[in-house]
Amino acid sequence: MKRSPYTINAGKTTVRGVPTDRHGNATGSEWDLAQDGGFLGHSIVVIQLYTSGGFDFVKPTEALKKKGFKVVRYVNAAPPIQEFREILSKSAEAWVISDSTPKLSSEHIDELVEFFNSGRGLYIWGDNSPFHADANVLLSRLFNSDMSGNFMGNTKVEQCMGVTSPGFLQHLVTTGLNHLYEGVTISKVTLSNGLERLVNSSDGNCVTAIYDSEGRRALVDGGFTRLYNQWDDAGTARFVCNAAAWLVNWDRYADEDQQSDPEEDRQTLRQLLDI
């Protein structure tokens, strides 16, 4: 029997009667979706095409490492196509953080489409117009969808009272959240071909969508500023780690060799035990 890397509180949202942080979210990693160290041996390849404003991806990397993930990051451009194929073959999921102009070649896009169709997780990040160029290329190919607009967010949202109301829906990705920061200026996601709402912004637009069908999982997010701007505001670290854990699709791939470095995994585990 496969041992779940999830905590016993997986899927629980709007947590009451426990200690909370200054934003009202439950404190303690037991309220995350993933156990600390639960995803040792799983790699995330990040293609970070937007790098302005001090966006160094340090805080997301630290948070993901606590859950056991290895983060392999490429900045401003994807690697040569053969290297890209090789790193994807060793990765559980891929994240693409778009810029204002397309930077991925048609070959890189094809590889990402094949990666997603094979059942590996894909996180497509954009932000307010025009910072969703490559996101929209991928969204068009995969879901006949897009991101658009420049909407002021900068608000904390709670669990939705209705599907189209501001806030987030109960899901494994929103485990442990009472409040979630929506981002500063954001774009909205067009829902089509299986994309469903996960987070609605304070004005009711879908800022984060989710896809889960035929063994394939993806997240689409119109607020990448959350990854570095006001990172400590209302649940971002928990949301990001939950998303990574869910995208692994662990029950489908738990028995596969992720080709990680055993010594590196041991060092990561020792660091976790020292936290």
Contact of 121 with 217, CB cutoff 8 Å: yes
Q: How many domains does the chain have?
A: 1
Query: Per the domain annotation, does 12 fall within a domain?
Result: no
Q: Is 73 exposed, middle or buried (0-12, 13-18, 19+ CB in 10 A)?
A: middle
Query: Per the domain annotation, does 8 fall within a domain?
Result: no
Question: pLDDT (tens digit, 9 = 90+) per residue, 48-92?
Answer: 999 998 999 999 999 999 999 999 999 999 999 999 999 999 999
CATH of the domain at 116: 3.40.50.880
Q: Residue 252 has what pLDDT?
A: 77
Bridge-partner residues for 210, per DSSP? 196, 219
Helices vs strands, H then E, count in the chain: 7, 12
Q: Residue 267 has what pLDDT?
A: 59
Query: Per the domain annotation, does 229 fall within a domain?
Result: yes
- Is the pLDDT at 273 greater than 70? The verdict is no
- Is the pLDDT at 253 greater than 80? The verdict is no
Query: Per the domain annotation, does 224 fall within a domain?
Result: yes
Q: Is 194 exposed, middle or buried (0-12, 13-18, 19+ CB in 10 A)?
A: middle
Total-model pTM: 0.92
User: If you average pLDDT over residues 31-50, what whole number do you get?
Assistant: 97
Query: Per the domain annotation, does 137 fall within a domain?
Result: yes
Question: pLDDT (tens digit, 9 = 90+) per residue, 139-166?
Answer: 999 999 999 999 888 889 999 988 889 9
**Buried/exposed code over 41-69 (b: 16+ C-beta within 10 A; e: otherwise):** bbbbbbbbbbeeeebebeebbebbbbbbb
Q: Which is nearest to 116 in space by CA: 143, 98, 79? A: 143
Integer distance in angstroms from the first to the last C-alpha of the chain?
Answer: 29
Query: Per the domain annotation, does 7 fall within a domain?
Result: no
Query: Per the domain annotation, does 6 fall within a domain?
Result: no
pLDDT class of 269 with cuts at 50, 70, 90: low
Query: Per the domain annotation, does 20 fall within a domain?
Result: no
User: Which domain, by its residues, includes 138?
Assistant: 29-274
